[in-house]
Structure formats: C-alpha cells, structure tokens
Structure 1
C-alpha cells in the first residue's frame, strides 16, 4: 500500500481585534467568571469597579490541526445475480449460456469492476488530541502561511505561541484509519491512500485573569469570532519561550513506521511531499 503524505503547513489566522477591545469585552463578563453565587449576588447588589483587579492578561496563539485524508480503490470481483422468472420457465438462453430455472429464478454470473473513493477532513484540538468538528468555523478566516522556524517572529514578541501536545504522526494514523476500508475483491487494480493536507493552524485568543475577594478567575476573548467565555486558562509559563521548530516538522519520518488499522505494515510505503488540497 502506497501512502502519499503532504508536506506540513503552518498557518497563523489573522486577528480581527485589538488587546484594548478584547479587554473591554472581557470586563463585561468578570462577575460571571466567579461562578453562579457571585452572579446572583451581583443581581442583588451591583459590585464596585474596585472589587475587581486585573492581575494578568495575555495574547496567545492556540493550535489546532487540520488533516485531509483520501483513498481510491479500483477492483474486480465475480458475483452471482439471481433473477426471478415466471413459474412456467424451465430454461433461459442468454449471452451464449443456457440457464436452468430453480424455484422460480435463474442465476447469472458476472465480473464486476468497482471504483470507490473516500475523502475525510479531520480537525483536532492540538492541546487535547481530541477531534473537534466545531473548529471548522475558523477555516473561513484569513490565514498567513509561515515557516516553522518563523512562527514566533510572525506572532510578535508579546504573543505566546502555545506548543501543540498532539504531534502530526499520531493524528495522521487516526485520519488514515477513517478512509482505509476493507474491500471484497478478487483482484485489486488500484489502491491509493493519501494525506492531502497536514496543517497546523494557530488562532488568536486573549485571556484576562481577575482577582476578587481573594479568588481568581479567567475570562477569554476569541480573536476571530469575538466570543467571550469564562472558565478558561492562561499560558504565562510559555511567555518568552521560542517554540522549537524541530518539534513540528517532518511528520513523514515518524509516519513511515506507523501502523494503520486495516493495512498490513509490510504493504505501507510513505511518499512525502504530494500536492496540498484545500477545500
């Protein structure tokens, strides 16, 4: 089995908002961030501005993976086709054969030529390794392709580039398993398996940590959709650290040894660098 593997791409999605705008929007959700009790209390007695202290804020680029996998199969197989005939029929002469009717039917035998095509787009949260179809909402935003060793420079000095927990090879294996199928064939004419896109996207998120009455809570602002959520996290431990590009690149080396469900290891040959597909 020949597995064609696209080169990795790294894309930074362009922010639509500023830090000041994000902070203003986040401040409207401060009371919600401290839980239901604080929210109920807030209805009864509006909290004062000086009750909230902004103790930390960050702009970060948070990663997710997009993989597109596909498979094409062409094969032949012999099949028997039962055809119902009237009760009075004893034999039928057709295509140079004389077929005998049994229990009201005759049976043809033919050679089928079959073609199957499977294509799947997979999106993964790069921090949890979990598939997440909701990430598709970010694919419509403008992105800038960058080299792995230029990620931090493109992001800016004050932006945290969060390293992915999930690496490409483990996700490639999962994506391929979704398109490799067992076929019933007497002879396989063509079998092509490929990963058309291996893309690591970085999306902008603003996070603000507030302190109130000795407790702290985080509000996040999505730099693309403008959504404001509570209960998030901050990544200040990565502030000032440069992401090691060696961690990101050359998925093909590790993919060459991957075990794909439904395929025999001896049949797997990885070819790196096919043309990318977007769609």
Structure 2
C-alpha cells in the first residue's frame, strides 16, 4: 500500500505568523542600513562608495517565507539475545535446574557461576524534531524554533496570502530527513518484530519578512535589505524572490506524500509508517 497523508488530520497544519514589526518601523530599520546593501567592498571603496543621496528605495514588499516543523517518533519492538553470569553462593552445588533444564555450574576462578543465555524482549522509542528552512538555506534550527516558541501563528486551510513563497523543499523531502535521522540510531537486535515511524506534528509555517530593494545610482547596483517581521533583525545581503505563489495551494497539494518518501527501509526488518493516524506499509 502506498503511504498517504490525510490532509484533514488535525496535526497537518499550515501556520502563518503575524508580523510584530509594522511596515513603517521595518522601513526605518532598512533606511539605517541601506548603505550596506551592496557588499563590503563597495562600502570600503574610498573612490566610489554608496552615499545617502545616491542610494534610493526602488521597491519594497512583505513576503512570507516557509519552513517545516515536524515531530516524529520511531518505536521498535525487538528481541535481543544476551548472556548473563549468575553467581552461585552454595559451595556444594554442582548443577542447577531452571525451567526444567539442568545447567552445569562453572568454577570461574573460585567464583562458581552459571552462564545464562536469554532472549530480552525490548521496546525502544526514539523521538526527533525537525526545523528546516523551506527554501533550502542554511538557517539554524534554533532560529526557526525561536519563532515557534515565542510568536503567535494563525492556522489557515490553504495558502492564499499575497507574498507567500512556495517551499522549494517539498513535504516528502522533509519526511525523508526525519526518516534518515531516526534510521541513524542503531538497534542492537537479533529479531525486529515491529518498526514504526509515527508523525505527531506536521506543520508548514510561514514567517513574515520585509524586503526593501535599493538602487545605487552612482554604482549602477541593486541591493536588498531584509527586516525580519517577527524579531526586527536586519539582513544586509538580502534577496528579492520573484517566485511567489500565484494560485491557491491547498493542503492536499502541500502535503502530498508519495511512495518515494517511504522507500527507505530501516535496518533489521520491515518499516511501517504511521502518518497522521494512518498505518501504512510499503509493498
């Protein structure tokens, strides 16, 4: 059966963070940094460098940049075979009976003992949380987690807000990152009875970013200053994204889950995926 995601499940959500910094405050921040929008070399050039009267605001926008927030757990039921040395305190004992089996007592350098081979029936749970920039940039997970922990977000059923950028990292790729992390945990097992991946939270989050494009007339260059709409942080080497969502994107489109997302097999046995309350197994 091909793994699927039920887009109507409550843990599959689209969240938009509301900007904390208003547009006017963001523009004031950008104006203070506009001379730094063209790189260090331009700023330090004594013969031709940006000046206040030669750098002008060309255009600005409020856009929404995507990132993924997934939480998942891997649960494994398995059998581990182990040997234990059981000390025998009775100096006169030569054998012991255990569950109908007779076991010889070994001298062991003056410490009589028996070697017991047992099968341990084990259960292990491994949890992971993913914060991943949806535009494939090296944004630190702590930064994205800070947005989730500190700021208010509103849920939407679809992405239909002007300025929203489509994620370049699709949902299936985010799932694969989670699977790879969980698969990296070694399981010392002789037999794996079940190996299940359960997604508990699947959120596509959008955060507000103000972008101000400045034209340096004397230098013939364009530079972009970005202002984080939540923290007010200034990014002087910003980008102007031309790829915006030009049509409504539904949850079914954004959370499409193909068979390739479940193709990897975890070590030691079958791999079941339970996504948003549905248990599926690849054929």
TM-score where L is the length of structure 1 = 0.78
Gaps of 5+ in 2: 279-283
Gaps of 5+ in 1: none
For the structure 1 residues 234 and 80, does the alpha-carbon distance in structure 2 shift closer, same or farther, using more than 3 Å as the test? same
Give the 3-state SS of the residue equivalent to 1:226 in structure 2: coil
Which residue of structure 2 aligns with residue 245 of structure 1? 250
How many residues align? The count is: 262
Displaced runs of 4 or more, over 6 A: 1-4, 44-47, 83-86, 89-92
> By how many angstroms is 1:57 displaced?
0.6
Give the 3-state SS of the residue equivalent to 1:233 in structure 2: coil
For the structure 1 residues 215 and 131, does the alpha-carbon distance in structure 2 shift closer, same or farther, using more than 3 Å as the test? closer
CA contact (8 A) 2:77 2:122 kept: yes
For the structure 1 residues 247 and 4, does the alpha-carbon distance in structure 2 shift closer, same or farther, using more than 3 Å as the test? closer
Q: 2:179 aligned to 176, 183, 187, which one? A: 176
State how 1:110-189 maps to structure 2 within 5 Å: 110-128=118-136, 132-134=140-142, 135-140=144-149, 141-148=151-158, 151-152=159-160, 155=161, 159-180=162-183, 181-189=185-193
Which residue of structure 2 aligns with residue 54 of structure 1? 57
* Residues 1:219 and 2:225 aligned together: yes
Give the 3-state SS of the residue equivalent to 2:167 in structure 1: coil
Give the 3-state SS of the residue equivalent to 2:29 in structure 1: helix
Give the 3-state SS of the residue equivalent to 2:254 in structure 1: coil
TM-score where L is the length of structure 2 = 0.77
Q: CA RMSD in A?
A: 3.6
CA contact (8 A) 2:66 2:166 kept: yes
Give the 3-state SS of the residue equivalent to 2:166 in structure 1: coil
